[in-house]
Amino acid sequence: MRKKIFIPLILFALVLVAWTRLSTPSIPAFTEASSKEKLLMELVTYFMQRGHFSPKDINNELSEELHTTFLEMLDGQKRYFLKKDAIQFARYKYALDDEFRSLQTDFFDFVYLRYLERRNEVKLFYKELLAQPFDYTVDEQISLDYDKQDFSTTLNSRKERWRKQLKFSTLNIVHGKLEEEEKRAEKDTDYTPKTFEVLEKEARDITLENMDNYFSLMEDVREEDWFASYLNAFVTQFDPHSLYYAPVDKDRFDANMSGKYEGIGARLTKRNQTIKIVDVISGGPIWRGQLLEVGDQIMMVRQEDGAPVDVQSMRLDDAIELIKGPAGTTVYLTVKRVDGTIEEVPIKRDTVELEESYLKSTLIDKGGRSYGLIHLPKFYVDFKDYKERNAAKDMQQEIVRLKKEGVQGLVIDLRNNGGGSLQTVVDMAGFFIDEGPVVQVKSSMEKTKVLKDRDGKTLYEGPLVILVNELSASASEILAAAMQDYERAVVLGSKQTFGKGTVQNVLELNRFISSSTYGELGALKYTTEKFYRITGKSTQLEGVKSDVVAPDQYAYVDIGEKDEDNPLVWDQIAAAPFTSWSGYENFSQTIQSSNKRVKENNLFQLIDKNARWIREQQDKDDFSLNLDQFSSTIDQDEATAEEFKALDDYKNNLSFRSLEYEREKMKRDTILAEKRKRWKKVLSRDLYVEEAVLILEDLKLNFIPSKPLAMQQ
């Protein structure tokens, strides 16, 4: 079933393995197209057909899928377009392949203008629908299974669909407010609860504010943004990880992959036509100088050699572009502070590192022994300069620090790690083996390449556990698979990982155009290779199957590669010669013991039961809009959820402490100290980390490890 798209913007997945040494196909001289849109169509079509690992014919079949995908992007909930619109759009169902070949945008232009027209119609009546109380005694339902619904046939039937949607949103808020009032009255016998009428009005006001903000956001989405969505509807027909990045999205991608950007060190949001600070990034210019705080409103932006620019009615992305700039330059912000005062604040821009993008570690103490845990959120890298900070260099440094602390086992947590740089994972795997192949990479035009660790030395020789789940993807799967194939580590986690076995290359499109007429063109990320385990098996679709399978909340949710649209197929190639690590006395026995513990653990069984219940909840599409029936259903669900409260109350018998260098940093950085405190609190309730430590305790080496680095001379 095609996945529902609720937000009419492309959200770019970061499940990526970038292989920067890949050569691009031979490049012709591109046509000087009559518009930027047509030039982008020409570029994107060329590279998808010439460079993609598994190119598709641009034919009627692809046209039909492109037609469906783009309409879902614009109106997946069928809240704007009418049936007669869909009939008119259907005339293009088998013509889009011809449009892409001839660089025509007739379909896009037609659909986009009709979308604006229909959206403006809805803007005229949603406030009217929220102006009066809803009748919550009527026995009516709403269905959220939009795949089974057709577009409304008339303006009135569309308005009725909106009425139910707005009522459903308000009903959720009303129910929550009624519960809050009831609890408050129980705690305070002198408290007089608000009337239902007052609560219902408050709920409608919240729904109205949410809708106002939604339509304000939609007003900020320009035609070029929708055209980027149209290009993405095209490229995702080839596979789910090929994407077109508009210029602003490419900047975000680079910042996400490197974990840093040049700016002032704040996260911004736009609500009610105002741009406010919602987060101050620890270590950034604002944080260091204590210049601004959360809640401050940015009104004007002035550069070193220009006049102030009013950003209050500006798109958020455009305002951010004005605020960002090269490190060392100064930007002047006119801000309205939380206390109402207005002043101009000079801020010297700098390189801002996003701490949450980088790995972090902790010591785990149990029974007089210490173990290390390294949490790696992604395999980050600066694609412009590999010598800059990257995941492999940080991992190496952290392992050295943990060895100095005398850890007797190591856990690498790759849960929810969507991947990143291929080079970093190859380097990282080499920390745990002397030498040998790590992964095989195959393109459609070249022979298979075997990427190896060649340094002939091992950084860490002790017991090793890799933690994974269904959201561990791409580079995470390479590392887990290599350590599993070498029998170097026990892989603990979900039944299988995400199942992304493809490699993407990122092309800056301006590289191929001599003219600067069209400005920034953005970039194309497209699938160029597949990677394979050293055994020859692909991780595509199948992922990495854990040695020790521990139930988790994602167990029955459709979130893997196999649940995506247009995934590439699973296949197998020849194995690369390698020799198992053979450093454990009891590798198989340890896995058997752990599986037995998990199977007999009541809490793990409760997690499995909870996961099944979560799937049942997600499969519900029909909801009552009668308050009594709605509340009854919610009460039943809350009663069922009480059964799983033991999972929230659980606390393991491990203690966690930061390494010495981080303890020194936290003395100066209270924000970092609070983040680490919260993380350790989460770890103290983590059943999987506890099982990982039990595995480390069981694993026995058949050799004496080298002395810790701190003791080596």
- Using H for helix, E for strand and C for coil, what is the string for 196-259? HHHHHHHHHHHHHHHHHHHHHHHHHCCHHHHHHHHHHHHHCCCCCCCEEECHHHHHHHHHHHHC
* Residue 8, pLDDT score: 33
Q: What is the pLDDT of residues 459-483, one digit of tens each?
A: 999 999 999 999 999 999 999 999 9
Any domain includes 191: yes
Which run of H or of E encompasses 465?
strand 464-468
Any domain includes 1: no
Most confident of 74-88, 297-311, 643-657: 74-88
The residue whose two tokens read 């569309």 is 158
Residue 456 · residue 496 · CB < 8 Å:
no
CATH number for the domain harbouring residue 286: 2.30.42.10
Q: Are residues 348 and 373 in the same domain?
A: no
Q: Are residues 342 and 363 in the same domain?
A: no
- CB-neighbour burial class of residue 650 (10 A; exposed 0-12, middle 13-18, buried 19+): middle
Q: Cα–Cα–Cα angle for 276, 277, 278, nearest 5°?
A: 110
20 pLDDT exceeds 60? no
Residue 658 · residue 365 · CB < 8 Å:
no
Q: Provide the Cα torsion 622, 627, 628, 630; round to 10°.
A: 30
554 pLDDT exceeds 90? no
Return the structure tokens found at 528. 């160029």
Which run of H or of E encompasses 605?
helix 602-618
* Residue 287, pLDDT score: 83
Q: Report residue 648 CA to chain centroid gap.
A: 24
660 pLDDT tier (thresholds 50, 70, 90): very high
Q: Are residues 421 and 318 in the same domain?
A: no
Mean pLDDT value across residues 570-595? 96
Reported pTM:
0.87
Q: What does the DSSP 8-state code read for residue 528?
A: E
Q: What is the mean pLDDT of the chain?
A: 90
User: Where is average pLDDT lowest: 141-145, 165-169, 249-253, 530-534?
Assistant: 249-253
* Residue 373, pLDDT score: 98
The one-letter amino acid at 484? Q
618 pLDDT exceeds 50? yes
* CA–CA separation, 5 and 303 (whole Å): 39
Any domain includes 194: yes
24 pLDDT exceeds 70? no
Q: Are residues 167 and 96 in the same domain?
A: yes
Mean pLDDT value across residues 98-109? 96
> 306 lies in which domain range?
260-353
Helices and strands: H and E segment counts in the chain: 22, 24
Residue 460 · residue 557 · CB < 8 Å:
no
Q: Are residues 291 and 223 in the same domain?
A: no
* Residue 311, pLDDT score: 85
Mean pLDDT value across residues 601-610? 95
Strand order in the sheet with 548-549: 548-549, 490-493, 464-468, 410-413, 369-375, 360-366, 655-657
* Residue 283, pLDDT score: 76
Q: What does the DSSP 8-state code read for residue 300?
A: E
375 pairs with which residues across the strands?
360, 413
Return the structure tokens found at 362. 């902790």
7 pLDDT tier (thresholds 50, 70, 90): very low
SS3 letters across 653-680: CCEEECCHHHHHHHHHCHHHHHHHHHHH
CATH number for the domain harbouring residue 574: 3.90.226.10
Residue 466 · residue 548 · CB < 8 Å:
no
Q: Are residues 451 and 569 in the same domain?
A: yes
Mean pLDDT value across residues 593-603? 97
Any domain includes 326: yes
Residue 361 · residue 676 · CB < 8 Å:
no
Q: Are residues 347 and 364 in the same domain?
A: no
What does the chain come to in residues? 713
Any domain includes 250: no
Q: Sign (positive/negative) of CA torsion 320, 394, 699, 472?
A: positive
22 pLDDT exceeds 70? no
Mean pLDDT value across residues 110-124? 97
Domain boundary among 309, 326, 353: 353
Q: Are residues 367 and 453 in the same domain?
A: yes
Residue 267: phi and psi, rounded to 5, are -105, 135
Q: Are residues 406 and 437 in the same domain?
A: yes
Residue 538 · residue 532 · CB < 8 Å:
yes
Q: Are residues 447 and 565 in the same domain?
A: yes
Any domain includes 405: yes
Strand ranges (DSSP E) for 246-368?
A: 260-263, 266-271, 274-280, 297-302, 309-310, 330-336, 342-348, 350-353, 360-366
* CA–CA separation, 271 and 428 (whole Å): 43
- CB-neighbour burial class of residue 405 (10 A; exposed 0-12, middle 13-18, buried 19+): middle
% of residues, the chain, pLDDT over 90: 69
544 pLDDT exceeds 50? yes
Any domain includes 220: yes
* CA nearest to 481, candidates 500, 456, 463, 462: 500
* CA–CA separation, 3 and 5 (whole Å): 6
Which run of H or of E encompasses 548?
strand 548-549
Q: DSSP per residue over 492-525, as a string? A: EESSB-----EEEEEEEGGGG-S--TT----EEE
* Residue 270, pLDDT score: 80
Interstrand relation of 141-143 and 622-624 (parallel, antiparallel or unpaired): antiparallel
Domain boundary among 185, 203, 237: 237
273 pLDDT tier (thresholds 50, 70, 90): confident
Q: Are residues 457 and 571 in the same domain?
A: yes
* Residue 178, pLDDT score: 94
Residue 656: phi and psi, rounded to 5, are -125, 140
Percent helix / strand / coil, the chain, rounded to 5: 40, 20, 40
The one-letter amino acid at 463? P
Distances (CA, A) of 182 to 34, 40, 174, 189, 191: 64, 58, 12, 11, 10
Residue 534 · residue 448 · CB < 8 Å:
no
* CA–CA separation, 642 and 248 (whole Å): 45
Residue 499 · residue 523 · CB < 8 Å:
no
Q: Give the chain's domain count.
A: 3
Any domain includes 5: no
Q: Are residues 284 and 232 in the same domain?
A: no
Under DSSP, is residue 564 helix (H, G, I), strand (E, B) or coil? coil
The one-letter amino acid at 384? K
* CA–CA separation, 582 and 330 (whole Å): 57
Which run of H or of E encompasses 17?
strand 17-18
% of residues, the chain, pLDDT over 70: 93
Q: What is the pLDDT of residues 389-416, one digit of tens each?
A: 899 999 999 999 999 999 999 999 999 9
User: Where is average pLDDT lowest: 83-87, 344-348, 423-427, 441-445?
Assistant: 441-445
Domain boundary among 353, 368, 388: 353
199 pLDDT exceeds 50? yes
